[in-house]
Amino acid sequence: MKKYRGKHEEKEKNKIKEKWNKKWMILIAIILILIIAIILLYFLVFSKKIKEEVFLELGENEINISQFVENKRYEKDSKFITDVSTIDLNKVGEYQIEIQYKDKTYVSNLKIQDTTAPKVEFQDIEKPVNYEIKAEDFIVSKEDKSEMTIEYQVNYEIDTSVLRRIFINCYSKRCLSK
């Protein structure tokens, strides 16, 4: 009879272990689901909705809300408070843009910049000794989306009584102010 009792007791112990194993598995699954739900809720509530900075290339056609939202799902609930139609997209500058997402207002910095290199064609010139050289004398043509200044720089003293030819480096520079 002891053998029968041992087998019976062993079966009972196995049933109890199985019940506890199932309970632990259910408890672990519930905890994992809660952790995932908390993480998702955190990202939905506290994630950035509107970009802090937006960069546009000089000469773009329009400003739209999709350029300012972090994710497309925020577009339909977002709108400009700032009148963006008054912003000159053909002028380098920086602007504060107010955007409303649902019932909260955000501020984003819009930076219009010219990242396209200017096209400048230079030429060699020959002028009399006492001629006052201007930077524009070296330019055949210049093209840029933003304002551009041309300067030249001489890094040494020139003794024009001795030299007949002077070599000068000329370069173009963008105007980065508003």
d(CA 41, CA 74): 16
Q: Are residues 109 and 144 in the same domain?
A: no
Give the end of a domain, one of 68, 88, 113.
113
Q: Are residues 39 and 68 in the same domain?
A: no
Q: Are residues 85 and 128 in the same domain?
A: no
Whether 175 has a pLDDT exceeding 50, the answer reads no
Q: Are residues 19 and 2 in the same domain?
A: yes
Q: Are residues 108 and 124 in the same domain?
A: no
Whether 135 has a pLDDT exceeding 50, the answer reads yes
Q: Taking residues 44-73, what's their average pLDDT?
A: 90
| Residue 138 neighbours by CB under 8 Å, 6+ apart | 122, 123, 125, 150, 152, 168, 170
Give the end of a domain, one of 64, 96, 113.
113
Whether 176 has a pLDDT exceeding 50, the answer reads no
Whether 107 has a pLDDT exceeding 50, the answer reads yes
DSSP assignment letter at 137: G
CATH number, domain at 101?
Answer: 2.60.40
| Structural domain that includes position 7 | 1-47
Give the end of a domain, one of 113, 131, 160.
113
Whether 152 has a pLDDT exceeding 80, the answer reads no
Q: What is the pLDDT of residue 20?
A: 80
Q: What is the pLDDT of residue 136?
A: 81
Q: Are residues 124 and 166 in the same domain?
A: yes
- Mean pLDDT, all residues of the chain: 81
Nearest to 52 by CA among 115, 113, 106, 112: 106
Whether 150 has a pLDDT exceeding 60, the answer reads yes
What is the number of domains present in the chain?
A: 3
